[in-house]
Structure 1
Amino acid sequence: MAHTAYVFDAYGTLFDVHAAVRKHAEKLGPDPQAFSFVWRQKQLEYSWVRALMHRYLDFWVLTEQALDTAFALFPAADRSLRADLLNAYWTLDCYPEVPQVLTTLKHNGAKLAILSNGTPQMLEAAAKAAGITDLLDEIFSVDALRTYKTDERVYELVTTHFRVYPETISFQSSNRWDIAGATAFGFRTVWMNRAGLPDEYPDLAPVAVLGDLTGLPALG
């Protein structure tokens, strides 16, 4: 096996962050897609700001705060759906190819792990709902460090646990900024560019860019 472990970001990589809004789209209001995009963007923005300030709040709190901001920015959205949207976030749909790709990698002898900004409780619930818990060797959460990606200590959680050098880890994320951070740390990185976005960090390039996880086992 070329790599000691395949490590995956969770939200946007394994789990569809827009599934919660999509589940309630008909009731939410006139522009559910834009609402979902703002919810996600604010969630990430708050994590970066909190990390820079060294004023940690866990990812579930940031998820709630980001949702409240989305409601404030979309006054036509039905606020009575707040609890339903938050409940749905605990059991986000995984992308269709995820179970089979993880199963293939596992059968090939790889160790599999999640490395995410999410809290341990959020990640365990999402993995259980997706039916992938038994395929995972570890779930790493930034909560252990009380900071967020792209702090290099987050990526170091993986190498410390497995007692390996960074280059033996294949790290997959749909977030280009996360790929940049992991590349700077020394991971072999694969960008899951599901949305066909432009490359914003050309000096910190991944070894491969894929539209989804399907082609990952073939990369070796």
Structure 2
Amino acid sequence: MAYAAYVFDAYGTLFDVHAAVRRHAAAIGPDGQQLSEIWRAKQLEYSWTRSLMREWRDFWALTEEALDYAFERVPSADKALRADLLEAYFELDCYREVPAVLKALKATGARVAILSNGSVPMLNSAVRNAALDTVIDDVFSVDELRTFKTDPAVYDMVTTAYRLYPGAVSFQSSNRWDVAGAAKFGFRTVWVNRARMPDEYRDLSPSLILPDLNGVE
């Protein structure tokens, strides 16, 4: 089945959230993976907590705060690398298959978009760095709403902008919680299970599970 729009989560789906730490792995030392995992986990936790409190801080501010916390948890990592890591995060690498997959979908005549918790500047930077600006039609950021996924209002940004029913949208995310939120909203959902994680939210199952974006159609 062809869909009118293919919408992608950004971080972990199109862009590798661990690329920033890998870029400076030699300087960080053997605890780099731990630092990166804590950084990502806290970044997400802070977004959910802020949403529930209705106390908005944009995703870049939360990214900075999460990194500061990760440094406290991993004292072997040199805090002098903070600026370098943040700069690298602002220009994350995309996964290898991303450009070809997006180009193929765009060639079908469908709209190709990003729907992300990321702030507008960080999303625009990542898109330009990965040379995806010629294939992505629109970047939807939660900055406009001042809340985060899985608030249904976030997914509604797409259907409102494109004047589509949810079922005409295929939504791809590597985050199972994001897939659950999108499925509840009514999108066709693809869980890009890059980390080979066990399933959860079984009452809100994805339409399709893939190991990467190859196979999205």
TM range (shorter): over 0.9
Aligned counterparts, 1:24-63, within 5 A: 24-63=24-63
User: 2:96 maps to what in 1?
Assistant: 96
Q: Normalising by the residue count of structure 1, what TM-score does the alignment of the two structures yield?
A: 0.97
Distance 1:34 1:215 in 2: 31
SS in 2 for 1:96: coil
1:102-136 Cα shifts (integer Å, max 9, x gaps) = 01011111100000000011101000000011111
- 1:125 maps to which residue? 125
Counterpart residue identity of residue 7, structure 1: V
The CA deviation at 1:29 is 2.8
**Which residue in the other structure is 2:145 paired with?**
145
Residue of structure 1 equivalent to 2:186: 186
Q: Percent identity?
A: 63
User: Any gaps of 5 or more consecutive residues in structure 2?
Assistant: none
Partner of 2:109: 109
Q: Which 5+ residue runs of structure 1 have no aligned equivalent?
A: none
Separation (CA, whole Å) in 2 of partners of 1:2 and 1:18: 32
What SS does the aligned partner of 1:83 have?
helix
Q: How far is the alpha carbon of 1:31 from its aligned partner?
A: 1.1
Contact 1:90–1:126 under 8 Å retained in 2 = yes
Equivalent-residue separation in structure 2 for 1:78 and 1:2 (angstroms): 49
Are the aligned partners of 1:29 and 1:78 in contact in 2 as well (CA < 8 Å)? no
What SS does the aligned partner of 2:134 have?
A: helix
Structure 2: distance between partners of 1:100 and 1:44:
28
TM-score normalised over the length of structure 2: 0.99
Amino acid at match of 2:93: D
Alignment partner, residue 216 of structure 1: 216
Q: How many residues align?
A: 217
Q: Determine if contact 1:112/1:136 at 8 Å carries over to the other structure.
A: yes
Which aligned pairs between 1:18-29 and structure 2 lie closer than 5 A?
18-29=18-29
CA RMSD of aligned residues (A): 0.7
Q: Counterpart of 1:75?
A: 75
